[in-house]
Amino acid sequence: MNQVLTKRSLVALAMLTSLLLATSGCAGGARASSWTGLTVVDDTLYVADLQQARAMNATSGETLWTFPRNPEENNQGLFYASPAVSDAEQVFFASQLTTGGFFSQRQSIVWALDVETGEERWRFAGATGMYVEGGALGDGLFVIGNGDGNVYALDRETGALQWTFETGHRVWSTPLIVSDTVYVGSMDRNLYALDLQSGEAKWTFKTDGAFGGKPALSDNTLYVGAFDDTVYAIDAETGEERWRFRGDEWFWGSPAISDGVLYAVDVKGTVYAFDARTGNLNWQKTLVTDQNQPVSVRAGVMRNDDGSRLFVSSESGTLYALDTTAEGFVDWSSPAGGQGLSDPAVNGSLVYQTLIGGTSRVRALEIDRGREAWSFPPPEEG
């Protein structure tokens, strides 16, 4: 009897151990739990490249500097959130450092680095949750949301904490700073307008869905999508709703606006174009794979300088270029290995995409034809 019981227990123990090994990451290697991001300023690309912060020549893809220089010896965690670049020649990254063990504290760190050299200026390790999207800069402050539910405002010269604003859930979206106001959405289903200097709430816009994307602003109107399948247009001064559009799926990524037209994409890959003033739908286009299968989209839409093209990165790594003058006709699509979950960026004639889990982590494509200009690491080093 006991032998049978023991066998049974051994079976259970073996299965539990397998479960533990399969799901705990003990198999080795850093597993991404979010997406990496990039920002391009003055022909320099700043990339949160998982194990490093990286500055690259945006035209050639040449690496200018990395931080830390050797992550094997000087592990500073995993870099996810899109960087922000200030006039004061600092670039701000965020990383998530897990030291392991039962009683370790997971550290989330904001880094201020020198834009020229990548040297550390200061760091801030006061948050306890995960930084998912990047921060925003305004009037001497760097403001960023965190998975612990707080919005942090740091002095951008010293990193000193100026104020925190507590929301009811995780803050996984990038704030938008306009003049003296910070607009930030939380998973608590509220969009907040905060006073930039004090962090006090000016108004709160309540919805039925969480906010994951950065709002877009035009003509004193904020545009933002939410997890209640809805795109909202909100008066930036008063927080009153101007119009809303109810779709079929979550709107996670940030919308884009150009010439009075608002573009937004839902997580099932349907791109919508609205009249920004009225909310009337101009056109919609559902993206599919070459095999006519539906695609998933986390990232927001990005437009080129004249607004004639939209770029959408799908979860499966394909970057789509849509012609806005032809109701979203797909001009070209460029597949890649890995997941493309972060917003693309545009600089001149190139569009940039970050990928996780593939051979390339960053790539640059020509806007007109979708031809790959360069990728990092290059194919032979991948």
- Give least dist CB 254 to another protein, A: 14
Choice from 83, 147, 300, 338 touching another protein (CB under 8 A): 147
Choice from 54, 121, 156, 170 touching another protein (CB under 8 A): 170
Measured CA angle at 345 (ends 341, 349), to 5 deg: 135
Q: Which stretch binds another protein (CB under 8 A): 52-60, 129-137, 158-166, 317-325?
A: 129-137
Choice from 62, 208, 275, 368 touching another protein (CB under 8 A): 208
Nearest to another protein of 28, 379 (CB atom): 28
Choice from 59, 63, 75, 128 touching another protein (CB under 8 A): 128
DSSP strand E in 186-220: where?
190-195, 201-206, 216-218
Please name which of 256, 290, 298, 295 lies closest in space to residue 274, comparing C-alpha atoms: 256
Measured CA angle at 271 (ends 225, 134), to 5 deg: 45
Does 3 bind another protein (CB under 8 A)? Our answer is yes
Which residue type does 270 have? T
Work out the burial of residue 87: count CB atoms within 10 Å of its CB; fewer than 13 is exposed, 13-18 middle, 19 or more buried: exposed
Strand partners, 19: none
Does 32 bind another protein (CB under 8 A)? Our answer is yes
Between CA 100 and CA 232 the distance in angstroms is: 41
Alpha carbons within 13 A on the beta-carbon side of 357: 12
Does 27 bind another protein (CB under 8 A)? Our answer is no
Q: Do residues 338 and 356 lie in contact, with contact meaning Cβ atoms separated by under 8 Å?
A: yes
Q: Which stretch binds another protein (CB under 8 A): 206-214, 231-239, 345-353, 360-368?
A: 206-214
Does 315 bind another protein (CB under 8 A)? Our answer is yes
Between CA 184 and CA 149 the distance in angstroms is: 12
Does 37 bind another protein (CB under 8 A)? Our answer is no
Between CA 309 and CA 312 the distance in angstroms is: 10
Please name which of 281, 381, 376, 355 lies closest in space to residue 64, comparing C-alpha atoms: 376
Nearest to another protein of 169, 202 (CB atom): 169
- Give least dist CB 172 to another protein, A: 6
DSSP 8-state symbol, 301:
-
Does 123 bind another protein (CB under 8 A)? Our answer is no
Does 125 bind another protein (CB under 8 A)? Our answer is no
Does 250 bind another protein (CB under 8 A)? Our answer is yes
- Give least dist CB 230 to another protein, A: 8
Choice from 67, 93, 252, 376 touching another protein (CB under 8 A): 252
- Give least dist CB 62 to another protein, A: 30
Q: Do residues 362 and 378 lie in contact, with contact meaning Cβ atoms separated by under 8 Å?
A: no
Q: Which stretch binds another protein (CB under 8 A): 153-161, 167-175, 273-281, 370-378?
A: 167-175
Which residues in the 98-117 window bind another protein by CB under 8 A?
102-103, 105-106
Which residue type does 107 have? Q
Does 2 bind another protein (CB under 8 A)? Our answer is yes
Strand partners, 285: 271
Alpha carbons within 13 A on the beta-carbon side of 157: 3
Size, binding site for another protein by CB under 8 A: 58
Element (H, E) at 265: strand 261-265
Q: How many CB atoms lie within 10 A of CB 26?
A: 8
Choice from 13, 30, 88, 160 touching another protein (CB under 8 A): 13
Residues near another protein (CB under 8 A): 1-13, 15-17, 19-20, 23-24, 32-35, 102-103, 105-106, 128-130, 132, 147-148, 168-170, 172, 187, 189, 207-210, 212, 226-229, 249-250, 252, 267-268, 296, 298, 315, 341
